[in-house]
Structure 1
Amino acid sequence: MDRISLSNSAFEGDNNAYLLADGEEVVLIDTGDWMETTREQLEAAFADRGLSFANVDRIFLTHWHGDHTGLAGQIQAESDAAVYAHEADASLIEGDEGAWQELHDLQKRYFDQWGMPEAKQEVLLERMVSGDESNDAPTVTTFEDGDRFALEGYEHDLEVVHASGHAAGLSMFETTVDGRREVVSGDALLPVYTPNVGGADVRVDNPLEKYLRALQGIVDAEYDRAWPGHRDPIDDPAGRAQYIIDHHEERAWRVLDALDRKGPCDTWTVSDDLFGELESIHILHGPGESHAHLEHLERAGTVVREGDEYRLADGVADELADSEDERWELAY
């Protein structure tokens, strides 16, 4: 797997694009964003390998977020490459105005439901709309979980592993390299940060439940290595996935503690207790992840929603007080 690191000012760290060019066709997994600096970096990386964008035969995208898909349309225009993405994300990647409007309308409804202050909404919406200005959106061929792609001149296929949570269509690509089971994990598994769940794609129903299921799948798969969407390769994917599962268990307890101390309150209040003052894209991620946990705990029967506010279910406060270091099962 030939990893190409591309600059990204976001907190996740540099983006990764993955190039397969040892066979009869040239395959690219993710492209980085559409900024001119990113294009120059990717073009230079191709040139170092004796290639240009015109040589690309196929592009596989892990999910719809612009820092992973931004150059797909430009590369397709130069190469006529086929661009593949999960069916749940295809319309956004193709720049469908109706799909984008539906997303923004849904986001606005959630912002109001979460109790996000208007001033914070204005900052966030301005940032998000400016991030939709991608040009040359590609034409997308869709795939589903379990689809396999034979690559000409390569011994092993790419198999799609749907890993919804962070994004509705987030997908990993499993393959074998020198007898080792490896996976391009996109933003499903990152080496430093835990991928945001709940805010990064408000279209996902029960995002935390789906993401925890995807993480457990990584644990069970026992991959030898993961190639993430940001930063360095992960040599113990199962261990990293289990760490993130445990992280969400700990966060669930922090949510319960916030409700115990503050009484019935909205999502923004819980987010403020967990994350403090939020700026930039974190204005979305903080309450989004808080909402994902509150929603998950509500389905588990530990939290009750009344209007736009949440409170502990009857008896839970007593169990919190009695449990101290011994924690009961939270269905995580």
Structure 2
Amino acid sequence: MERIRLGNTVFEGRNNAYLIPGDRPTLVDVGVATASVRRDVRGGLDAVGYEIADLDAIVLTHWHADHTGLAGELQAESDASVYVHAADAGIVSGDPDAVAAERDIRERRFEEWGIPDGPLDELTSFLDGHDELQGERVDVTPVEDGDRITAGDGELEVVHLPGHAAGLSAFSFDASDGREAFVGDVILPKYTPNVGGADLRVDRPLETYLDSLARLADRGFDRVWPGHRDPIDDPAARARAIAEHHRDRTRRVLSVLNEHGPADAWTVSAHLFGDLSNIHILHGPGEAFAHLDHLAAEGVVERDGTEYATTVDDIDVDELVPVPETKR
């Protein structure tokens, strides 16, 4: 397997694509649709003796443009089959109904979160101004949890791990020294993946993501290959650290509500993160919403319109935000 490092000046940077050589050359994730990333992909393939036309399969971890943007044009040049989880297939393929549904829920959430007009205009301009990064239309083959995809000289097993995105999936495989996986943005070595704002279609985003962290930790992977930056050699420990981060953030959200009274997601976000710009105007209140939504579902805060307020004095955050056991 070969890692191809991709630039990304639009979002968080340092994306990865992975080439699985063999009888069925396969590329895992493809990067955002920009000229510089096109050069990165071609150069990375060329360095190990491959061309785009050699690809037989493209596997996408989730629908975000920095993972899928070049899929359409790479497919057109190679005639490769493109695989993505069924929950994300409609958006990746450019299905008008799926795209419209995502935009509808986006508009509804922005109103519910209480984003003021100024930041909302900035966010809308940012999102609409980067539509081309999604790239060309893609003919996708939807997959589900447990499916197996022939890749290289072996197989990839689909492991559905939603939260950051509804269809986010890892693809696990046997390596020379254990079981490994390509994990997209399920866990990252430096940042904590955004939950709540990254995919507004996800119901109960924090609970869903915590369940996925527990499932990933339980699989006992020896190493995982993320969508950004370097490989993670103890993925169960990293999953635990991210869950502990969300436990701490839950405490901070409760502190904001206790100190400042009923508040909407935007107000809580402002106390957590301060001033925000471009994509973070989405991610900040989205993260706050994920925690507020979780607390409301657990019955410790109450939602009245767009505002949330605590209803319980003694709250056991450790019980509300479980942390997976590390199995090594």
C-alpha distance in structure 1 between counterparts of 2:147 and 2:170, whole Å: 11
Q: Does 2:108 correspond to 1:109?
A: yes
Amino acid of the residue matched to residue 205 of structure 1? D
CA drift at 1:104:
1.6
Provide structure 1 residue ranges, at least 5 long, that are not aligned to the other structure: 321-325
Alignment counterpart, residue 166 of structure 1, candidates 164, 167, 176 = 164
Kindly provide the CA deviation profile for residues 261-310 of structure 1, in whole angstroms up to 9, marking residues without a partner as x. Answer: 01111111101111110111000000001001000011111111111110
C-alpha distance in structure 2 between counterparts of 1:227 and 1:277, whole Å: 32
C-alpha distance in structure 2 between counterparts of 1:159 and 1:328, whole Å: 33
C-alpha distance in structure 2 between counterparts of 1:220 and 1:33, whole Å: 31
Q: Name the count of aligned residue pairs.
A: 321
Query: Equivalences for 1:170-249 in 2 at 5 Å?
Result: 170-249=168-247
Change in CA separation of 1:328 and 1:47 when aligned onto 2, cut-off 3 Å: closer
Contact 1:12 1:193 in 2 (8 A): no
Matching residue of 1:250: 248
CA drift at 1:96:
2.0
CA drift at 1:128:
1.1
C-alpha distance in structure 2 between counterparts of 1:197 and 1:331, whole Å: 14
CA drift at 1:12:
3.4
C-alpha distance in structure 1 between counterparts of 2:84 and 2:110, whole Å: 28
Kindly provide the CA deviation profile for residues 177-227 of structure 1, in whole angstroms up to 9, marking residues without a partner as x. Answer: 114110101000100000000001101111111110110112111211010
Matching residue of 2:72: 73
Matching residue of 1:262: 260
Matching residue of 1:323: none
Kindly provide the CA deviation profile for residues 141-197 of structure 1, in whole angstroms up to 9, marking residues without a partner as x. Answer: 000011112336x2x421000010011100000111114110101000100000000
Change in CA separation of 1:122 and 1:256 when aligned onto 2, cut-off 3 Å: same
CA drift at 1:77:
0.4
Change in CA separation of 1:304 and 1:149 when aligned onto 2, cut-off 3 Å: same
CA drift at 1:46:
1.2
Matching residue of 1:143: 143
Amino acid of the residue matched to residue 114 of structure 1? W
% identity of equivalent residues: 50
CA drift at 1:51:
1.4
Amino acid of the residue matched to residue 265 of structure 1? A
CA drift at 1:49:
1.6
Amino acid of the residue matched to residue 203 of structure 2? D
Instruction: Using the TM superposition, name which of 176-185 and 29-38 deviates more.
Output: 176-185
CA drift at 1:11:
5.8
Q: 4+ residue stretches of structure 1 with deviation over 4 A?
A: none
Q: Under a length normalisation based on structure 1, what TM-score does the superposition of the two structures give?
A: 0.93
Amino acid of the residue matched to residue 104 of structure 1? R
CA drift at 1:328:
5.7
Matching residue of 2:310: 312
C-alpha distance in structure 1 between counterparts of 2:206 and 2:26, whole Å: 32
Matching residue of 2:325: none
Partner SS state of residue 234, structure 1: coil
Query: Equivalences for 1:26-175 in 2 at 5 Å?
Result: 26-133=25-132, 134-151=134-151, 154=153, 156-175=154-173
Kindly provide the CA deviation profile for residues 77-109 of structure 1, in whole angstroms up to 9, marking residues without a partner as x. Answer: 011000000111111111123322221221111
Matching residue of 1:302: 300
Contact 2:20 2:151 in 1 (8 A): no
C-alpha distance in structure 2 between counterparts of 1:76 and 1:150, whole Å: 17
C-alpha distance in structure 1 between counterparts of 2:52 and 2:150, whole Å: 21
CA drift at 1:331:
4.6
Amino acid of the residue matched to residue 130 of structure 1? G
Partner SS state of residue 291, structure 1: helix
Q: Does 2:320 correspond to 1:330?
A: yes
Amino acid of the residue matched to residue 199 of structure 2? D
Partner SS state of residue 279, structure 1: coil
C-alpha distance in structure 2 between counterparts of 1:286 and 1:328, whole Å: 23
Kindly provide the CA deviation profile for residues 224-256 of structure 1, in whole angstroms up to 9, marking residues without a partner as x. Answer: 101000000001101100000100000000000
Change in CA separation of 1:274 and 1:24 when aligned onto 2, cut-off 3 Å: same
Matching residue of 1:271: 269
Contact 2:27 2:55 in 1 (8 A): yes
Kindly provide the CA deviation profile for residues 8-42 of structure 1, in whole angstroms up to 9, marking residues without a partner as x. Answer: 12563310000011x21210000001101100111
Amino acid of the residue matched to residue 295 of structure 2? L
Contact 1:198 1:207 in 2 (8 A): yes
C-alpha distance in structure 1 between counterparts of 2:145 and 2:280, whole Å: 30
Q: Does 2:14 correspond to 1:14?
A: yes
CA drift at 1:6:
0.2
Partner SS state of residue 319, structure 2: coil
